[in-house]
Every structure is written in structure tokens, then in C-alpha cells.
């Protein structure tokens, strides 16, 4: 399960974060024409890793992560849950499901959100960008969450509001569920070909029940 845009109404200035990261690259004369505010930090880091020595790359990644953490911590202090989320998580728990959180946010901001709303009890695994070398859309954090929950991809689904969630699910080999409650519009999500589309996280228990019935002998 994704966090921002899926269960939380998270007002993080992604463009601002990218702008600050690009300013750092400009100072070091490492910015290339294809590194713009429209490109995610994940993609920019991928390009830098391929072109820089390990020490320089790790230094830059640390700087990027620090500026993201500062913005996320401020945003997490004001974050709100979408209506019905806690009831939905309780329903999922009552269905004897294991629930994992896979977010590209850092651990510190994520923990602030979890403490504010008492979310810790609902999740069997929480994988942030500080817990894995890769971020979504890479499948690594999704697979790590499955390992921590001792769950197989055949019995799992990934729900999220972004194209990166759908891409990560496909790469990890499990079905994706898209919710148009984040910054991506319904049409853009459909273009990324999720396996299922629901109106919000609150429709997830009904989808899970339907999938269980369809797979029962």
C-alpha cells in the first residue's frame, strides 16, 4: 500500500524539492539538459548513479534525501487522512490480511504521520526510501515489504495513486490497484494499465473480498 495520495492528503511541494535539488547540481556543474523540474528525483538519481563515481553519487543522494526530509517533516505535521481510512484499515485487519506500507517518503516524516494517527498497529511492514537502496517505480521496496511480511507475490496486490506504484507492482510481479485520489488524473492512471481501478482506498475491502471469491475453489 502506498501512503501519500492513497491514505493521506499529503501536501508536499514536489516541484520545489526538485528545484532545490537542481540548484545543487547547478552549483557542481552536474546538471544536464534532461534534468528538469518535470523529472522525478528518482529518475535524476538514476542518471547520476550511472555517470558519477560512487562517493560523489552517495554525497549527492544524501543531500537530496536531507532536503526531502526537511520538507516531509514540515508537511507531516499538517497531513490529514482521507475520510474513512481508519475504518477501512480496521476492515482489512478484520479480514486477517497482512498489510504493508511502501512509500518513497523518508522514515522520519512517515513516523510522524503514523504517530499522529495511530497507524502503527495496522501495518506488518513499513518500507521507506531510508530502508531500501531503491525507490518505486523500482520493484525492490515492494519485494522487501513482501519478504518482511513473509508473503508471496501470488497472494498480494499493491494499491497506490501514482504511475510509479503501478510500474513497481508490474515489475515485482503482482497485480496493481489504482486510486485516482492523488495528483495523477484518472486518464493517466488508466494509460499505465493497472489491473484494477477503484474510486478510493475505502473500496479496497470489497475488491479483496471479490478477489477471494473468484480464486476460491
Query: Do residues 186 and 97 share a domain?
Result: yes
- 177 has which bridge partners? 159, 196
- pLDDT for res 48: 93
Interior CA angle at 21 toward 16 and 26, to 5°? 120
- pLDDT for res 15: 82
**In this predicted model, what pLDDT tens digit does every residue of 155-214 receive, in sequence order?**
999 999 999 999 999 999 999 999 999 888 889 999 999 999 999 999 999 999 999 888
Domains contained in the chain, number? 2
- Count of Cβ atoms closer than 10 Å to residue 22 Cβ: 18
| 3-class SS of residue 4 | strand
What's the first-to-final CA gap in the chain, in angstroms?
A: 27
Query: Do residues 117 and 46 share a domain?
Result: no
- pLDDT for res 39: 86
How far apart are alpha carbons 146 and 154 in whole angstroms?
11
Query: Do residues 70 and 102 share a domain?
Result: no
What is the residue-wise DSSP string for 172-191? Answer: HTS-EEE-TTSSS-HHHHHH
Query: Residue 161's closest CA among 177, 146, 147?
Result: 177
Query: Do residues 46 and 90 share a domain?
Result: no
- pLDDT for res 216: 67
The CATH number given to whatever domain includes residue 199 is: 3.40.50.1000
- Has residue 101 been placed in a domain? yes
**In this predicted model, what pLDDT tens digit does every residue of 71-120 receive, in sequence order?**
899 999 999 999 999 999 999 999 999 999 999 999 999 999 999 999 99
Out of 8-22, 119-133, 147-161, least confident range: 8-22
Full-prediction pTM beyond 0.95? no
Phi, psi (degrees; rounded to nearest 5) at 204 = -65, -45
- pLDDT for res 38: 84
Query: Do residues 124 and 208 share a domain?
Result: yes
- Has residue 2 been placed in a domain? no
- pLDDT for res 217: 64
How far lies 142's CA from each of 21, 158, 164, in Å? 26, 8, 11
pLDDT confidence band for 46 (50 / 70 / 90) = confident
- Has residue 18 been placed in a domain? yes
Query: Do residues 135 and 175 share a domain?
Result: yes
Phi, psi (degrees; rounded to nearest 5) at 101 = -110, 130
Say which DSSP state 158 is in.
Answer: E
- Has residue 106 been placed in a domain? yes
Give the containing element (helix H, strand E) for 51. Answer: helix 41-51
The residue range of the domain holding 59 is 14-76
| 3-class SS of residue 28 | coil
Q: Which of 22, 47, 76 is the last residue of a domain?
A: 76
Amino acid at each position: 500500500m502506498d501512503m501519500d495520495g492513497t491514505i493521506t492528503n499529503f501536501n508536499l511541494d514536489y516541484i520545489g524539492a526538485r528545484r532545490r535539488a537542481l540548484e545543487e547540481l547547478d552549483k557542481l556543474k552536474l546538471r544536464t539538459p534532461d534534468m528538469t523540474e518535470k523529472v522525478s528525483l528518482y529518475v535524476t538519481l538514476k542518471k547520476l548513479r550511472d555517470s558519477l563515481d560512487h562517493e560523489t553519487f552517495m554525497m549527492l543522494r544524501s543531500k537530496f534525501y536531507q532536503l526531502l526530509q526537511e520538507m516531509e517533516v514540515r508537511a507531516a505535521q499538517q497531513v490529514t487522512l482521507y475520510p474513512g481510512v481508519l475504518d477501512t484499515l480496521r476492515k482489512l485487519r478484520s479480514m486477517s490480511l497482512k498489510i504493508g506500507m511502501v512509500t518513497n517518503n523518508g522514515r522520519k516524516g512517515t513516523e510522524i504521520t503514523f504517530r499522529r494517527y495511530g497507524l502503527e498497529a495496522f501495518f506488518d511492514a513499513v518500507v521507506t526510501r531510508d530502508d531500501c537502496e531503491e525507490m518505486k517505480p523500482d520493484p525492490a521496496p515492494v519485494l522487501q515489504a513482501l519478504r518482511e511480511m513473509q508473503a508471496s507475490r501470488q497472494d498480494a496486490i499493491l494499491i497506490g495513486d501514482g504511475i510509479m506504484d503501478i510500474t513497481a507492482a508490474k515489475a515485482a510481479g503482482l497485480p496493481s490497484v489504482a486510486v485516482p485520489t492523488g495528483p495523477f488524473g484518472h486518464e493517466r492512471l488508466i494509460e499505465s494499465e493497472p489491473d484494477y481501478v477503484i474510486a478510493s482506498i475505502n473500496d479496497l475491502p470489497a475488491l479483496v473480498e471479490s478477489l477471494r471469491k473468484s480464486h476460491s475453489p
